[in-house]
Amino acid sequence: MSFDETIIHCSAPALCGIKPASLFSMNSECYDTGRRKLSEWRGVFAKSGRYLVPLRKSDAMVLFFVFDKILLDGVLGNARTESYLKEKGYPVERGSGAVLAELLHRLAFQESFPHEVGVFLGYPLGDVIAFERGEKNCKLAGLWKVYGGEKEAKRKMALYKSCTEFCAELIRSGVSVPASVQKFTGTQGK
């Protein structure tokens, strides 16, 4: 997959403003081919409150966190989510920026992914907690393991898939990543 295809395949819903965040890795060689584009795109997407953050680079891989600030602030502003993240040692009293900075630090420097990353990615808190506890009775396994709210989860997963497919088709036809995102958001009234 090319740099552009990887970005779209892994983060189109976040870039299009329908998902709070995406987390993915790409191989370093692919990353190196797109660094110039990434620099340009970061400026373009920042204007609409969307950010592409390369976090950790090893010789083989680069970890990315892509997020929509408005959607992520909404998730992090939920009282139950704040309480959960406070229990995990996040500085919720300092606001969503400090909470996000703490997550990015943990992702960059910890070997394993913290379970709570799921809430940042827009997964329901109940599903994140059930997964963390190792519960076995999931109703659906897709982009995340669903333990409750199966109908809404299916709807979201279908929306994310259609967004990704829409943008990927445009990328394959030569449209740039920012332009493909703009075309999708235009179809959604955003």
What pLDDT digit, counting tens, does each position of 172-185 carry? Answer: 999 999 999 999 98
Identify the sign of the CA torsion 32, 33, 36, 40.
negative
Overall average pLDDT of the 86-114 stretch: 94
Q: Which residues pair with 26 in a beta bridge?
A: 62
On the question of pLDDT at 187 being above 90, the answer is no
Cα distance between residue 8 and residue 30, in whole Å: 13
Closest by CA position to 52, among listed 182, 177, 173: 177
Calculate the average pLDDT of the chain.
94
- Distance separating alpha carbons of residues 104 and 107, to the nearest angstrom: 5
pLDDT in tens, 64-95: 999 999 999 999 999 999 999 999 999 999 99
86 vs 102, 125, 134, CA distance in Å? Answer: 11, 14, 21
| Of 114, 110, 117, nearest in space to 56 by CA | 110
Predicted model pTM: 0.93
Identify residue 90 by its one-letter amino acid code: Y
Q: Residue 141 and residue 70: Cα distance in Å, rounded?
A: 27
Domain boundaries, the chain: 3-187
When pLDDT is cut at 50, 70 and 90, the band that residue 25 belongs to is very high
